[in-house]
């Protein structure tokens, strides 16, 4: 038996030596799939690890964290907390994101009480550069300690001055030392809390209190009881909750990327499947010979599976190496958020991770083994006597023809699109896409048969031969078809989804930017603002016909979720659609109604804020009842935005500061001219950011394109995999067809005619593939647009078909298929007609 | 629809002092100074030891390989002067092939296989269908037209191949051990059929074979040796 096995192994090895290309292509395909998946995983892990390190060092060893709105809560809460009997230490914190005009970047500034913080967040205690003044510097009113990363990125050193913008004023601080305990990756500065409140215009307010509890006190239970007593909008939570909140910041995005990686892996797996299937088919008579020579069914199965496993292992190993390199390159050049803008100020590096390496190795391996299993099973079951004969593999493939199982899979996929999200993720949406894909692939033998058997008869030899081949071997055609379908449908889906999204964002930007000039108190951070005096000056500037001001801040509604953005702006309650891109009908308010808010789509999904409902919002430490008067589309913030009238906001909070202004200009006044005028009239007018809607538009679209760059990359990979697949299936077939070409040459068919025949076959196959792929891609795009996007990002969009691009891509794929078919045929013909007919089929 | 028998006695093929060597690594002379004239309607058998160059000779005549020396004139044309396309066109219209391994295309039906040369030569659909039906009947495969090659026996496949080789009435038919894969009984039937069909269309034919019995179905037998091509004395019945 062992001799027989050796003989069998030698036969397979000989085959590999004779035709290494299909095997190599299969191995590469798996490698690409595994590499993409692993790389995305590594990048995510690196970014997340860095991010949670940030969170950890900021929170230190606090048991409880008390947070409120971005504008802070009254500091009178602090002594109440500190006096609680279970509290050992309470460390008050002031936070601001201040703009550093000189370096055009925002810097997080944290104000701490050194004596309290030393026991909770020791990492935030600065190390003064001059020991003599150490204690004075730690408590200084103009001193700041910068993290090593901040020092490096601002190119400053202890002793230098740091100027930040507060309101419209410059505030100059002295760098008194560093924060060596923070290590790499954190971009922040620490000040004394009193100094921070004073210098950063945060008098009387705190952003956070870090609390350490008496040993043995249950933090979660403590937080729960405390929450009942805290002012509205101020929430006590455990570090785990906070971490969950920060992790959920980018979760949907990361899941999306992972799914894209899985798509790459899937197409890779499919490629392996088809190349294994083709190679087993091609060797069907050899395998039958082995059976005839006495290799048992299970022996044969083992043999082919071993081969598949070897290819899979090889490809997966290669893929892991490739993925690691890819991840390192991406982190080096694009950052951890892959252009998504989620992890600002975090600079992660890649670390090898055995666990996910093992996972992706296993995925790649099983894809290859599964790919071999089906054809191997068929080969083992086949009657050796029949299988030894030429043409019998078509009979074997014909068994795959009935469409019913494929239709059932597609139907299940369709049904799953109706299911809701699972803990905030569109699990069923993705599953539906996978099922649709698999079902459609299962339908390919049926499609190939029904379409190709209807090809018209032709008297042109080339057409006749190509048609006859496609009609006579639909099973083989179906394998190539499935590859094209898989790659083109995914490509088309992505293209349609991105184009729809892009167009919707474009329309949305038009709608939200009705004015001619926009002012922002500071280009970044949250420390800049326009005071009432500044607002009056702006509004009364000659050439300004109308000025609308808005206040953007954040409130915390749920400790486990990222904060919600609050926008107070001028909104005409009778015509909210003039300022907000409303989705659906708005509520008409009647006298006696509570004040109105208009919420973004995410608020409906995440907090159930439906039109007409009465909801409570924490404003200035009080819970205020509002009525939801309408829902609008907000592509800028996916965790929820609440817009309310500025008058209501001012009346409820007393907050008169604003962060943004929109200016309508008088006839004849130009935006540049007005900006220039404001620069002179406003104290600190140079610090204001003046932008025209066109610039915002361009910048926003640039950000959009950047955050989709990774999608384009993955898309390119899918296309490559697809073309790879066509190549693999054609070269596998061309090898098997060298005898056919030899006979045709004998019968007087020219080389050019054979080439034309192959190109025509490839083109027809690809044409059917892209046509089916376009249909499937459209369905997948609809799922992405109407299920996956709303469920993961909580926004809707309208469908836009980028026809020109789709047609171009389809044409490119058809041409690529024709050329690939031609090229692989050339190799088969190069063997020579004489040689080809000597062999048996 | 039988073709009118060609006028016998016209020279169809003439080989003059053909030589051929394969050089991979060291040169190896296979054919040396081979001459042969074939007139239409003439059916010769070529015998010879394995490896002596019989298949090589057929390949040279078919223009699938080039001779090193000598001249091959077929249908009045010097093959050396034809480029690949012209040679292919000549093969398409003027030659028929029967292989040892049948080589009936598996993805085409029997009918389509037989009709292939007509299609390649631009014969109309209706005429083609009639001629294929007649030819299938003539080789004893009436009713097999729609079958797939994988459903046929070896002997039946070789009949299909013979039908395909002769459907377009080529002046020359080349058969390389057409019965090498068949049992003696079937072989005899196929050989008889081949001869009948060749004679029916008035073609010239070359039959390469190892079997004296097979050779006996031809008009005359030539023996290929390393010294050249010479008439072969009819084998004594004992020598078979
Ligand atoms: N492509 C080639 N390259 C090199 N040598 C070749 C090639 N084709 C044939 N030969 C050699 O030329 C010689 C003649 O081969 P050929 O196939 O013509 O023999 P044959 O007479 O048909 O033999 P058989 O009866 O076994 O079919 C053989 O020795 C063979 O090894
Ligand atoms: Mg031979």
pLDDT digits (tens, 9 = 90+) for A493-537: 888 988 898 898 888 888 888 899 999 888 877 888 999 999 999
The 10s digit of each residue's pLDDT in A767-794 is: 999 999 999 999 999 998 899 888 887 8
What distances in angstroms separate CA A44 from CA A40, A235, A511, one per listed residue? 6, 29, 34
Mean pLDDT, residues A39-56 taken together: 71
**A722 close to A443: Cβ distance less than 8 angstroms:** no
Q: Are A46 and A349 in contact (CB under 8 A)?
A: yes
Residue A318 pLDDT greater than 70, yes or no: yes
Backbone angles phi, psi at A106, to 5 degrees: -90, 150
On whether both A586 and A651 belong to a single domain, the answer is yes
SS3 A428: helix
Contact indicator for A446, A403 with CB cutoff of 8 Å: yes
The better pLDDT of the pair A279, B139 is held by B139
- Give B27 to chain A, closest Cα distance, Å: 19
3-class secondary structure, A22: helix
pTM: 0.77
Q: Is the pLDDT assigned to residue A206 strictly greater than 90?
A: yes
Residue percentage of chain A with pLDDT more than 70: 82
Residues A748, B148: C-beta atoms closer than 8 Å: no
Among A325-339, A391-405, B112-126, which stretch is predicted with the lowest mean pLDDT? A325-339
Residues with CB under 5 A from ligand 2 (ion): B 55
Choose the closest CB to A391 out of B62, B106, B120.
Answer: B106
pLDDT at A245 over 90: no
Report which secondary-structure segment, H or E, holds A207.
Answer: none
Q: How far is the CA of B36 from the centre of ligand 1 (A)?
A: 20
- Looking at the fold, whether A330 and A386 belong to one and the same domain comes out as yes
Q: Report CA-CA distances (Å) from B107 to A469, B22, B103.
A: 6, 34, 11
Answer for the pair B178, B99: CB distance below 8 angstroms, yes or no.
yes
Shared domain check, A290 and A158: no
Stated as kind and residue range, the H or E segment containing B133 is helix B125-138
Nearest Cα residue to A275 out of A669, A817, A724:
A724
Separation of B91 CA from ligand 2 center, angstroms?
Answer: 20
Same domain, A224 and A82: yes
> Which residue CA neighbors atom 3 of ligand 1 most closely?
B22
A27 falls in which pLDDT band (50, 70, 90)? confident
Report how far residue A553's alpha carbon sits from residue A391's, in angstroms, rounded to the nearest whole number: 72
Which of B57, B75, B108 would you mutate first to test chain A, the one with the most A CBs within 10 A?
Answer: B108
pLDDT reading at A28 higher than 50: yes
Return the SS3 of A11. Answer: helix
Residue A337 pLDDT grade (very low, low, confident, very high; cuts 50, 70, 90): low
At residue B122, the 3 state secondary structure works out as: coil
pLDDT at A628 over 90: yes
Integer angstrom CA distances of residue A301 from A60, A291, B63? 58, 11, 45
Give B52 Cα–ligand 1 centroid separation in angstroms: 7
Residue whose CA is closest, atom 2 of ligand 1?
B22
Least CB–CB distance from A747: residue in B117, B124, B149: B117
B51 touches A at CB < 8 Å: no
Looking at chain A from residue 143 to 172, which residues have their Cβ under 8 Å from any Cβ of chain B? none
Question: Closest chain B residue to A472 measured between Cα atoms?
Answer: B107
| Residue nearest atom 29 of ligand 1, based on CA coordinates | B51
Check residue B240 and give its pLDDT: 38
Among B108, B122, B125, select the one facing A468 at the smallest CB separation. Answer: B108
A636, part of any domain: yes
β-bridge mates for residue A171, sequence order: A164
Between CA A38 and CA B76 the distance in angstroms is: 69
Q: Do A214 and A279 fall within a single domain? A: no
**Closest residue of B to A477, CA-based?**
B107
Q: Are B174 and B62 in contact (CB under 8 A)?
A: yes
Would residue A350 count as lying in a domain?
yes
What confidence tens digit (pLDDT) does each residue in B185-229 have? Answer: 888 988 998 999 899 888 999 999 998 989 999 999 999 988 888
The alpha carbon of residue B238 is apart from the nearest alpha carbon of chain A, in Å, by 32
Mean pLDDT of A696-711: 76
Would you say A700 and A517 are in contact if contact means Cβ atoms under 8 Å apart?
Answer: no
- Comparing A252-256, A502-506, A547-551, A630-634, which segment has the lowest mean pLDDT? A252-256
B228 three-state secondary structure:
strand
Residue A584 gets the label, from left (phi > 0), alpha (psi -120 to 50) or beta, of left
- Chain-centroid distance of CA B23 in Å reads 27
d(CA B93, CA A49): 75
Split at pLDDT 50, 70, 90, the class of B239 is very low
Count of structural domains within chain A: 3
A22 and A83 belong to one structural domain: no
CA–CA separation, A25 and A695 (whole Å)? 47
Q: A126 and A36: one domain? A: no
CA A23 to each of CA A330, A400, A818, B161: distance values in angstroms, whole numbers, following the listed order: 29, 24, 22, 35
Distance of CA A230 to the CA centre of its chain: 37
Q: Looking at beta carbons, which residues of chain B come within 8 Å of A386?
A: 150
Per the structure, the complete domain to which residue A84 belongs is given by: 64-237
Pairing of strands A208-213, A169-178: unpaired
pLDDT of res. A255: 65
Mean pLDDT, range A166-189, rounded to an integer: 84
Helices (H) and strands (E) in chain B, counts: 7, 10
Cα B180 from Cα B157, distance rounded (Å): 13
Same domain? A255 vs A109: no
Domains of chain B: 11-231 (3.40.50.300)
The answer to whether residues A191 and A126 touch, using CB atoms and an 8 Å cutoff, is no
Measured in Å, residue B176 CA sits from the centre of ligand 2 at 7
* Average predicted confidence (pLDDT) for chain A: 83
> What residues in A contact B90, CB-CB < 8 Å?
748
Whether residue A97 is predicted with pLDDT greater than 70 in this model: the reply is: yes
Whether residue A160 is contained in a domain is answered as yes
**pLDDT score recorded for residue A58:** 67
In-domain check, residue A596: yes
pLDDT digits (tens, 9 = 90+) for A358-369: 988 998 888 788
Note whether residue A415 is domain-resident: no
**How would you label B188-199 residue by residue, b for 16+ Cβ within 10 Å and e otherwise?**
ebbbebbbebbe
User: Considering the domain boundaries, does residue A725 fall inside one?
Assistant: no
Q: Which among B92, B105, B112 is the nearest to A740, CB-wise? A: B105
Q: How far is A25 from chain B (nearest CA, A)?
A: 26
The CA B208 to ligand 2 mean position distance, Å, reads 8
CB-side exposure of A765: number of CA atoms within 13 Å?
37
Which chain A residue is nearest to residue B167, measuring alpha carbons? Answer: A747
Q: Nearest Cβ partner of A390 from B92, B122, B150?
A: B150
Q: How far apart are the first and last CA of chain A?
A: 28
Please say whether the beta carbons of A336 and A43 come within 8 A. yes
Who contacts B196 (Cβ-Cβ below 8 Å, separation ≥6)? Answer: none
- Tell me the average pLDDT across A342-364: 73
Last residue of a domain, one of A691, A726, A746: A691
Mean pLDDT score across all residues of chain B: 87
Q: Are A369 and A273 in contact (CB under 8 A)?
A: no
SS (H, E, C) A51-106: HHHHHHHHHCCCCEEEECCCCCEECCHHHHHHHCCCEEEEEEEEEEEEEEHHHCEE
Q: Which of B55, B38, B3, B28 is nearest to B201 (CA)?
A: B3
- Residue that terminates a domain, selected from A212, A237, A262: A237
Closest ligand, as measured to the CA of B46 = 1
Q: Give the residue, out of B18, B24, B30, with the most ligand 1 atoms within 8 A of its beta carbon, to mutate for a pocket test.
A: B30
- Cβ–Cβ of A748/B122 closer than 8 Å? no
Report whether A516 contacts A675 (CB < 8 A): no
Q: How far is the CA of A836 from the centre of ligand 2 (A)?
A: 13
User: Which residues lie with the beta carbon below 6 Å from any ligand 1 atom?
Assistant: B 22, 24, 30, 48, 50-56
- Residue B168 CB: number of other CB atoms within 10 A? 26
CA gap A350, A335 in Å, rounded = 11
- Residue A399 confidence (pLDDT): 73
Residue A836 pLDDT > 70: no
Q: Which pLDDT belongs to residue A603?
A: 92
Interacting residues of B160 by C-beta distance below 8 A, sequence separation 6+: B102, B104, B110, B113, B114, B139, B141, B144, B149, B152
Q: What is the ipTM of this complex?
A: 0.85
Q: Does A153 have pLDDT greater than 60?
A: yes
Per-residue pLDDT tens over the stretch A652-679: 998 899 999 999 999 988 899 999 999 9
Last residue of a domain, one of A237, A257, A285: A237
List C-alpha distances in Å: A198 to A58, A111, A171, A174, A816: 22, 10, 11, 15, 67
The beta-carbon neighbor of A748 closest among B92, B105, B125 is: B92
pLDDT in tens, A378-428: 777 766 666 655 556 666 677 777 889 899 999 999 999 998 888 777 889
Phi, psi of A566 (to 5 degrees): -115, 125
Q: Are A224 and A332 within one domain?
A: no
Rounded alpha-carbon distances, angstroms, from residue A511 to A483, A506, A698, A795: 42, 9, 15, 16
> Is A165 inside any structural domain?
yes
Between these two residues, A374 and A454, which has the higher pLDDT value?
Answer: A454
pLDDT at residue A258 greater than cutoff 80: no
Residue A674 is assigned to a structural domain of this protein:
yes
pLDDT of residue A269: 66
Quickly state the pLDDT bin for A267 (edges 50, 70, 90).
low
A415 vs A461, which has greater pLDDT? A415
Same domain for A84 and A40: no
Does residue A142 sit at the B interface (CB-CB below 8 Å)? Answer: no
495-554 of A, contacting B, C-beta below 8 A: none
Mean pLDDT of A742-754: 87
**Are residues A262 and A145 both part of a single domain?**
no
Over residues A101-133, the pLDDT tens digits come to 888 888 889 999 988 888 888 888 888 877 666
Q: CA–CA distance from A195 to each of A78, A89, A93, A117, A175 (Å)? A: 17, 21, 12, 15, 14
Buried b (16+ CB within 10 A) or exposed e, A7-27: ebeebbeebbeebeebbbbbb
Q: In this structure, are A215 and A265 located in the same domain?
A: no
Contact at CB, B92 and A468, closer than 8 angstroms:
no
* CA-nearest residue, atom 7 of ligand 1: B22
Q: What's the pLDDT tens digit per position in B135-144?
A: 999 888 999 9
Quote the ligand 2 centre to B111 CA distance (angstroms).
28
């Amino acid at each position: 038996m062992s001799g027989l096995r050796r003989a069998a192994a030698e036969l397979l090895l000989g085959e590999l030596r004779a035709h290494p290309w299909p095997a190599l292509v299969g191995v590469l395909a798996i490698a690409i799939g595994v590499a993409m998946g692993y790389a995305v995983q590594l990048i995510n892990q690196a970014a997340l690890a860095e991010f949670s390190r940030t969170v950890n060092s900021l929170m230190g060893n606090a048991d409880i964290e008390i947070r409120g709105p971005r504008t802070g809560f009254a500091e009178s809460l602090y002594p109440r907390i500190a006096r609680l009997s279970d509290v050992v230490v309470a460390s008050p914190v002031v936070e601001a994101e201040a703009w550093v005009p000189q370096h055009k970047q925002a810097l997080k500034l944290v104000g701490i009480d050194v004596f309290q913080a030393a026991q909770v967040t020791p990492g935030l205690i600065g190390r003064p550069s001059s020991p003599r003044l150490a204690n004075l510097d730690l408590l200084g009113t103009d001193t700041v300690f910068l993290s090593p990363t901040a020092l490096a990125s601002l190119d400053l050193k202890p002793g230098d001055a740091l100027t930040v913008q507060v309101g419209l004023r410059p505030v100059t601080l002295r760098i008194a030392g560093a924060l060596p305990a923070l290590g790499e990756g954190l971009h922040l500065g620490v000040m004394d809390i009193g100094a921070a409140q004073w210098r950063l215009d945060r008098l009387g307010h705190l952003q956070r209190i870090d609390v350490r509890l008496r040993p043995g006190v249950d933090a979660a239970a403590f937080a729960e009881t405390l929450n009942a007593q805290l002012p509205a909008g101020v929430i006590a939570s455990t570090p785990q909750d906070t971490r969950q909140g920060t992790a959920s910041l980018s979760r949907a995005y990361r899941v999306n990327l992972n799914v894209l990686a899985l798509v790459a892996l899937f197409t890779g797996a499919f490629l392996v499947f088809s190349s294994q299937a083709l190679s087993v088919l091609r060797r069907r008579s050899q395998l039958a010979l082995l059976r005839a020579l006495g290799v048992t069914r299970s022996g044969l199965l083992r043999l082919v599976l071993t081969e598949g496993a070897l290819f899979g292992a090889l490809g997966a190993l290669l893929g892991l190496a490739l993925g690691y390199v890819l991840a390192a390159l991406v982190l080096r050049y694009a950052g951890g958020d892959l252009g998504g803008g989620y992890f600002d100020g975090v600079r992660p590096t890649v670390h090898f991770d055995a666990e996910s390496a093992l996972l992706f190795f296993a995925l790649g391996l099983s894809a290859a083994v599964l790919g071999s299993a089906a054809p191997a099973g068929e080969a083992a079951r086949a009657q050796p006597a029949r299988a030894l004969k030429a043409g019998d593999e078509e009979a074997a493939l014909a068994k795959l023809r009935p469409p019913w199982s494929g239709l059932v899979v597609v139907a299940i996929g369709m049904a799953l699109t109706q299911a809701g999200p699972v803990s905030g993720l569109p699990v069923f949406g993705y599953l539906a896409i996978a099922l649709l894909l698999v079902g459609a692939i299962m339908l390919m033998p049926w499609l190939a048969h029904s379409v190709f058997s209807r090809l018209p008869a032709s008297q042109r030899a080339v057409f006749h031969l190509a048609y006859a081949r496609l009609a006579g071997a639909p099973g083989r055609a179906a394998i190539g078809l499935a590859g094209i379908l898989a790659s083109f449908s995914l490509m088309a889906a992505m293209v349609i989804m991105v184009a729809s999204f892009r167009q919707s964002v474009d329309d949305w930007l038009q709608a939200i930017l009705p004015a001619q000039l926009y002012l922002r108190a500071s280009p970044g951070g949250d420390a800049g603002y326009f005071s009432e005096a500044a607002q009056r000056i702006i509004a009364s500037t000659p050439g300004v016909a109308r000025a609308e001001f808005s206040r953007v801040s954040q409130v915390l509604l749920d400790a486990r979720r990222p904060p919600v953005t609050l926008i107070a702006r001028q909104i005409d309650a009778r015509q909210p659609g003039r300022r907000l891109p409303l989705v659906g009908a708005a509520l008409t308010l009647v006298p006696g109604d509570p004040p109105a808010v208009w919420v973004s789509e995410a608020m409906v999904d995440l907090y159930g804020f439906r039109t007409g409902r009465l909801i409570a919002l924490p404003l200035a430490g009080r819970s205020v009842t509002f009525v939801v008067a309408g829902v609008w589309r907000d592509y800028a913030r996916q965790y929820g935005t609440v817009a309310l009238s500025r008058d209501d906001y001012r009346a409820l909070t007393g907050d008169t500061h604003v962060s943004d202004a929109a200016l309508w200009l008088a006839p004849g006044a130009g935006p540049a001219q007005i900006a220039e005028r404001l620069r002179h009239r406003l104290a600190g007018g140079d610090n204001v950011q003046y932008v025209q809607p066109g610039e915002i538009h361009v910048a926003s679209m640039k950000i959009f394109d950047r955050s989709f760059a990774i999608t384009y990359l993955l898309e390119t990979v899918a296309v490559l995999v697809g073309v790879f697949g066509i190549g693999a299936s054609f070269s596998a077939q061309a090898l098997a067809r060298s005898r056919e070409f030899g006979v045709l040459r004998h019968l007087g068919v020219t080389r050019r005619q054979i080439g034309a025949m192959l190109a025509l076959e490839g083109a027809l196959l690809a044409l059917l593939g892209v046509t089916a792929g376009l249909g499937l891609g459209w369905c997948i795009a609809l799922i992405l647009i109407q299920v996956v996007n709303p469920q993961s990002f909580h926004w809707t969009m309208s469908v836009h078909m980028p026809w020109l691009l789709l047609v171009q891509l389809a044409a490119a794929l058809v041409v690529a298929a024709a050329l690939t078919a031609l090229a692989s045929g050339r190799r088969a013909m190069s063997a020579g007609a004489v040689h080809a007919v000597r062999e048996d089929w | 629809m039988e073709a009118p028998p060609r006028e016998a006695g016209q020279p169809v093929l003439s080989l003059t002092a053909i030589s051929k060597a394969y050089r991979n690594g060291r040169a190896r002379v296979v054919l040396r100074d081979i001459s042969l004239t074939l007139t239409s309607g003439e059916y010769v058998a070529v015998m010879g030891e394995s490896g002596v160059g019989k298949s090589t000779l057929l390949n040279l005549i078919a223009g699938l390989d080039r001779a090193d020396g000598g001249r091959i004139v077929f249908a009045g044309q010097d093959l050396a002067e034809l480029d690949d396309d012209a040679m292919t066109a000549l093969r398409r219209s003027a030659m028929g092939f029967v292989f040892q391994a049948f080589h009936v295309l598996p993805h085409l039906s029997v009918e389509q296989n037989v009709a292939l040369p007509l299609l390649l030569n631009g014969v109309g659909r209706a005429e083609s269908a009639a001629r294929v039906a007649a030819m299938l009947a003539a080789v004893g495969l009436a009713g097999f037209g729609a079958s797939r090659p994988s459903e046929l026996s070896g002997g039946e496949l070789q009949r299909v191949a013979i039908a395909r080789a002769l459907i377009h009435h080529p002046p020359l038919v080349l058969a390389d051990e057409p019965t090498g894969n068949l049992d003696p009984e079937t072989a005899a039937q196929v050989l008889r059929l081949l001869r009948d069909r060749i004679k029916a269309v008035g073609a010239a034919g070359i039959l390469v074979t190892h079997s004296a019995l097979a050779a006996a179905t031809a008009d005359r037998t030539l023996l290929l040796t390393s010294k050249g091509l010479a008439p072969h004395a009819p084998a004594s019945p004992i020598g078979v």
